[in-house]
Amino acid sequence: MVAEKVLDPVTLAVLRGRLEQIADEMDATLYRSAFNPIIAEAHDACHGLYDAQTGDTLIQGKSGLPVFVGAMAFAVRAAMRVAAERGTGMQDGDVWLFNDPYEGGTHANDFKLVRPCFRGGALYCFLASAAHWHDVGGAVPGNYNPAATECWQEAVQIPPVRILRANQLDEDVLAILRANTRLPDSLWGDLNGQLAALELGAKRLDGLLDEYGDATVASALVELRARALRLMRSHIASLSDGRYSFEDVLDNDGVVDNTLTIALDMTVAGERLTLDFSRTSAQCAGPVNISRATAVAACYVALKHVFPDVPANAGVLDAVDFVIPDGLVISASRPRPVGGYTETILRMIDVIFSATALADPYRAVAHAYGTINALSIAGHRTDAKRAGQRWVMFSFFGGGHGGHSDGDGLSHGNAPISTATIPPLEILEAAYPVRFTQWALRPGSGGDGQHRGGLGAIYEIELLEDSAEAFVFGERSKVAPQGIHGGKPALPNVFEYCQNGEWKRPPMLSKMLGIQLKKGDRVRLQTPGGGGWGDPALRSAQDRANDIALGYTRENT
């Protein structure tokens, strides 16, 4: 794809909107057709357009997960490399599928589909889809295995393979996928949704190219990347030159109960930014490792929060240098487990926020709650109509966001790694034999400050079936989300489970597998709030009075 034209601003703006609309329509198609509520309700997915030569991100939908912006470029490159190595090349009508987290980033639940798009017999660009499938084998239903020490204990590992060949479904590949899940119908529905989204995207792209011409659209894509780079450079230049360092920890890796450090030395030098994570802990035994592709994607998400107007394309990262040596917990290699990637990238975002706050606290946000608290409850149905049928409830949960220079943090928000929403309790109760006996804000959980952190939440879930097993994968139980610019920390995470009327906590606090539940037993999450921003002494008397009146805080602190 070679740019040949100089576009006027109006045409460029129209083409940008039309290209983003293609990605948005792919997102919407999948959300409306997926069987799995993590896609259909929580929108844990993304679609975009990618460069034909480099695989770099060109356009992403506005409702897709930001963490996939960086990761999906690695996924497209992996498909390109494998196609070249096998001698097949990229063929019109093929769709490549895989979930290898060391190639495409994130974790094995996220299946990536890559479709080459051709014009006049030549490769023009790629369309790609990523979505979180409900269950893909492994030792733990839902695949968040807190005790995994190898990737194969987490999920089935699928390298890049063609699920479509010349527009024909490969039934052999499908049979392998269906044999490696506890929920084959859900898998089949989600796969069809992704294929349909890519088909629609190809149709819309062809229509746009027919209308404006291949060269005109190619020129628009080149210019949009160049503008993203210029915008990012200007934002970096607005920070004071210098070296800014911050570090934070993970509770443990689920196997060894020792904290792990995520350390950042951030250097601002004119219009370039260097993010150096060399002092970060080495890769570990348990599943809080992430691949380098995931680490780069996490950095993009943090920078998008700091500079909200930068677009979702590779030009943003062209102004950033990454120093991520091999063998760290954020650059792990196979077969180190990576299933809990969400927890580690949240900590990466926190350290970028805090390092930025040292350069300019008015740009930065205090730490958000810092854990998705991935919870699985699984068992078999006992009612007459569905006796023996397997069920797996997997969900993630919200908490408080950090305070910022313009105001208080959001209460009960979704994780800042994504635009995914917290699944509604009505959907979960309708789909699974559980009852939410409590879903409420957690009073006093936000950090104090001139602008306080948002409140976390309390979720209590009762089992309605005769028996089930529960699994939790969380963080932030040892060190709470931190404030910035003089703000105070939030309350830490608390997970408890009730067996025979007795409440207990896991030995590793935030991680546990194989919790045996009987009918009437419950699990309870008390999620962290966000950190505070600014000196608490500067909070107005009226704001403090409102906090107390609304029950946001238990006492005037």
Tell me if 487 sits within 8 A of 529, measured CB to CB: no
State how far the Cα of 206 lies from the Cα of 537, in Å rounded to an integer: 59
State how far the Cα of 156 lies from the Cα of 410, in Å rounded to an integer: 37
Nearest to 339 by CA among 372, 367, 368: 372
Total tally of structural domains belonging to the chain: 2
Listed residues 229, 259, 294: the one ending a domain: 229
State how far the Cα of 159 lies from the Cα of 83, in Å rounded to an integer: 12
Can you give the length of the chain in residues? 557
The predicted structure's pLDDT at residue 418: 65
State how far the Cα of 442 lies from the Cα of 270, in Å rounded to an integer: 43
pLDDT along the chain (557 residues), means of 10: 72 96 96 92 91 94 78 93 94 96 89 97 97 93 91 95 97 97 95 98 98 96 96 96 98 96 98 98 97 93 92 91 97 94 96 97 95 95 89 93 96 81 88 96 96 97 97 96 96 96 95 96 98 96 92 65
318 found inside a domain:
no
The predicted structure's pLDDT at residue 554: 60
β-strand partners of 249: 261
Distances (CA, A) of 444 to 132, 459, 477, 528, 555: 33, 16, 16, 10, 8
356 found inside a domain:
no
351 found inside a domain:
no
315 found inside a domain:
no
- Full domain range(s) for residue 536: 365-557
Distances (CA, A) of 479 to 89, 234, 245, 531: 49, 35, 18, 12
Q: Torsion angle of alpha carbons 505, 508, 511, 514, nearest 10°?
A: -70
pLDDT single digits (tens) 154-195: 999 999 999 999 999 999 999 999 999 999 999 999 999 999
pTM listed for this prediction: 0.92
Listed residues 177, 207, 229: the one ending a domain: 229
State how far the Cα of 473 lies from the Cα of 491, in Å rounded to an integer: 18
292 found inside a domain:
no
The predicted structure's pLDDT at residue 421: 76
Continuous segment of H or E residues that includes residue 182: none
The predicted structure's pLDDT at residue 543: 94
Tell me if 353 sits within 8 A of 365, measured CB to CB: yes
348 found inside a domain:
no
373 found inside a domain:
yes
Listed residues 184, 204, 229: the one ending a domain: 229
Same domain, 392 and 537: yes
Q: At what angle do helices 9-33 and 214-237 cross, to 10 degrees?
A: 90
Nearest to 99 by CA among 196, 182, 27, 173: 173
* Mean pLDDT, the chain, integer: 94
